[in-house]
């Protein structure tokens, strides 16, 4: 599913937002061989598993879900996770969003929209940790997370305002990252602790 060039709505004023220390080009880099291996393991695992629930991390198609467990405060919770879309903005929007416009030269904002569904375990009575394991990559490199970006864009919920979460309920959280403007693909990663990442890749439109 392609992502779309769109005007991104940011609630925080100019000079309030800041880039995380794991900036573009300075974070961890995917090894193409490892990525191919993970995809191969997923394809093999699917022979004996539900198509929507791979047995281990690996490449997933747009709209395809993964299942993983997270150690939440009340106990271990099983979630169904699916990256629904990624919206990419313009260089001008990135320059307006960060504290130092120099940090945004040649960069754009990428907002990943991810749906999490509580599938098993205790109900949550506080903020969930499931979205902490989500990250956006471009060109095999992790983007720079935009600290202070709004989670209240259309279709997104603020995870800090979700204070109760019962089995069967879903919430959509968004992650805002700064990525190179010339990226040919954008990938959303989510993984269990110490697990291989599930990867949803979105091609530029």
Task: Give me the pLDDT at residue 106, please.
Answer: 95
Task: Give me the pLDDT at residue 180, please.
Answer: 95
Enter the tokens of residue 121.
């375990």
**Total structural domains within the chain:** 1
d(CA 177, CA 71) in angstroms, rounded, equals 25
In angstroms, how far apart are the furthest CA atoms of the chain? Answer: 51
Task: Give me the pLDDT at residue 204, please.
Answer: 61
d(CA 193, CA 201) in angstroms, rounded, equals 21
Task: Give me the pLDDT at residue 148, please.
Answer: 72
Closest among 4, 9, 10, 151 to 87, alpha carbons compared? 4
The CATH number given to whatever domain includes residue 81 is 2.60.40.1240
Contact by Cβ (8 Å): 178, 144? yes
Task: Give me the pLDDT at residue 82, please.
Answer: 97
The residue assigned the tokens 């940090």 is 103
Written in H, E and C, the secondary structure of the chain is CCEEECCCCCCCCCCCCEECCCCCCCCCECCHHHHHHHHHHHHHHHHHCCCCCCCCCEEECCCCCEEEEEEECCEEEEEEEEEEEEEECCHHHHHHHCCCHHHHCCEEEEEEEEEEEEEECCCECCCCCHHHHEEEEECCEECEEEECCCCCCCCCECHHHCCCECCCCEEEEEEEEEEECCCCCEEEEECCCCCCCEEEEECEC
pTM (two decimals): 0.76
Structural domain boundaries enclosing 25: 4-202
pLDDT along the chain (205 residues), means of 10: 43 41 40 34 32 68 94 96 94 90 91 96 95 94 84 80 95 94 95 94 77
Task: Give me the pLDDT at residue 9, please.
Answer: 41
């Amino acid at each position: 599913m392609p992502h779309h060039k769109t005007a991104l709505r940011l609630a925080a004023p100019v000079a309030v937002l800041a880039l995380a220390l794991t900036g573009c080009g300075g974070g961890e880099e995917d090894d193409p061989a490892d990525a191919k291996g993970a995809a191969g393991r997923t394809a093999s695992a699917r022979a004996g598993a539900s198509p929507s629930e791979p047995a281990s991390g690996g490449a997933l198609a747009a709209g395809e879900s993964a299942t993983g467990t997270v150690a939440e405060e009340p106990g271990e919770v099983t979630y169904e996770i699916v990256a629904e879309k990624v919206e990419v903005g313009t260089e001008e929007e990135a320059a307006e969003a960060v504290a130092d416009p120099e940090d945004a030269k040649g960069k754009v904002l990428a907002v990943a929209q991810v749906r999490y569904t509580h599938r098993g375990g205790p109900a949550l009575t506080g903020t969930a940790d499931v979205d902490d394991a989500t990250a956006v990559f471009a060109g095999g490199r992790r983007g720079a997370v935009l600290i202070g970006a709004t989670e209240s864009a259309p279709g997104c919920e603020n995870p800090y305002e979700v204070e109760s979460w019962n089995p069967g309920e879903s919430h959509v959280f968004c992650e805002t990252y700064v990525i190179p403007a010339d990226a040919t693909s954008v990938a959303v990663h989510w993984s269990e602790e110490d697990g291989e990442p599930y990867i949803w890749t979105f091609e530029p439109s």
